[in-house]
Amino acid sequence: MPHRSLVCVAAIALATSVSTAPAGAIPTRLSPVVDHVEQLRPGVQYRSFREGPTSWHLVSISLRDKALEIFGTDESSVRPSQEQPRAGYRWTRTSTFAERTNADIAINANYYELGKWRSVCGLAMSQGNRWQSGYDDRRLNCFASAGFGTNGQASVFDSRGLRRGGSLPSWMQLVVSGSPALVRDGELVEIRHPRHALMPNPRTAIGLSRDHGTLYLLLVDGREGHAVGMTCRQSASLLRSLGAWDAINLDGGGSSALFLRSHGGVVNHTGEAERPVVNHLGLRFSAPDRHGNKVAAVSEGLAATSPVRMTAQTPRALGTPSVLRRRPVQPWRDTSLWASMLTLGIMGVLGRRNEPRGL
């Protein structure tokens, strides 16, 4: 139809005018740079960066820190309740998960079926137990995984065929998965799918240094204000430039969330209220008691977590919580949001199906 063609052409023109950076490049300077670096504790650094349409947050964590615990969501906490078995899996906001578990740092993890109240896409593991409720998705191929152990061990690997069985390292107690892989052995991975990976979006990604001694948590802002998000290729280039030797993309879009207790809540921006998700990755730090013994910052009786290393109760190491602050969304001023809406409209006109889960 002529009218439909004109709509498509106009929408493409507007979307192109919002972000004209090449697919593998970080957008160039359009406004003064804001580059804030903060040491949260020894071995833990938080960096927030904003330049024109580019806005991101990076937390670098030393895995050699003996006070560090890495933990995740326990499958039993998300299964449908016996009282309402048809209600589907129970989802939790990253900030709620962090508050319940006294996490100092937390992010969202696996993709999930947004429209069907299903469990995680791909391999997930907590306390050494594989989730039994996970599913495979041929459109996403959630085989990009990161595993963590009890003594700072960590690995990024391909979990193809391992969701229900197969051999994993004996030290591996916790696994989260996503798609696509971003960096492998220091080289950018060629990314052709899933479709959302080729378009700018808010992102959650994790990476490891070459010696597996540093964990990187990258959250990319998007769909709000001037922030347009990044393609997965751009996220990969950024993570490699910041020190990641291996990296994977997790669920993003409105699911992306970075909780920092030291900053009072979620610090990234996705253009919408914080979204409940199925599983999470959390970190907390033990602190010495008055006798010099290390005890962990946990609450007793919490069923929502599967800590890699559990000890006793102690005050939190990274400060006290405050009211969660989020910047108000002003969609009438948000050109990236309008561009995203028009792009989705084009996809609908062309007969494409919406992307499943999260984004």
- pLDDT tens for the 359 residues of the chain, in order: 444 444 343 444 434 444 444 545 554 444 579 999 999 999 999 999 999 999 999 999 999 999 999 999 999 888 876 665 556 678 899 999 999 999 999 999 999 987 666 789 999 999 999 999 999 999 999 999 999 998 999 999 999 999 999 999 999 999 999 999 999 999 999 999 899 999 999 999 999 999 999 999 999 999 999 999 999 999 999 999 999 999 999 999 999 999 999 999 999 999 999 999 999 999 999 865 444 444 444 432 233 333 333 222 222 333 322 223 333 333 333 444 344 444 444 444 343 333 445 57
Question: What would the DSSP string read from start to end of 123-163?
Answer: --EETTEE-SS-B--TTT---EEEEE-TTS-EEEEE-TT-S
Please tell me the predicted confidence (pLDDT) of residue 90: 81
Give the contacts of 256 (CB within 8 A, at least 6 positions apart).
Answer: 107, 108, 202, 203, 204, 219, 220, 268, 270
Measured in residues, the chain has a length of 359
| pLDDT for position 82 | 62
Q: How far apart are the first and last CA of the chain?
A: 30
Indicate the helix (H) or strand (E) that contains 218.
strand 214-220
Judge whether 98 and 261 are in contact, CB under 8 Å: yes
CA atoms within 13 A on the CB side of 238: 28
Q: Regarding beta strands 222-224 and 44-51, do their DSSP bridges make them parallel or antiparallel, or are they unpaired?
A: unpaired
CB hemisphere CA count around 333 (13 angstroms): 7
d(CA 217, CA 290): 32
Amino acid found at 263: H
Handedness of CA 72, 74, 75, 79 (dihedral sign): negative
User: What's residue 31's pLDDT?
Assistant: 58
pLDDT for position 117? 63
The whole-number pLDDT of residue 26 equals 52
**In the prediction, which pLDDT does 85 show?**
56
Q: Transcribe 262-319 into DSSP letters.
A: GGTEE----SSSPPPBS-EEEEEE-EE-TTS-EE----TT--SEEESS-------SS-
Q: Rounded to whole angstroms, what are the CA distances from 349 to 73, 168, 169, 342?
A: 39, 44, 47, 10
Whole-number pLDDT of residue 204: 98
pTM greater than the 0.85 cutoff: no
DSSP 31: S
Domain ranges of the chain: 11-349
User: Residue 169 in contact with residue 189, Cβ under 8 Å?
Assistant: no
Is the torsion defined by CA of 183, 268, 125, 285 positive or negative?
Answer: positive
Q: What is the pLDDT of residue 258?
A: 98
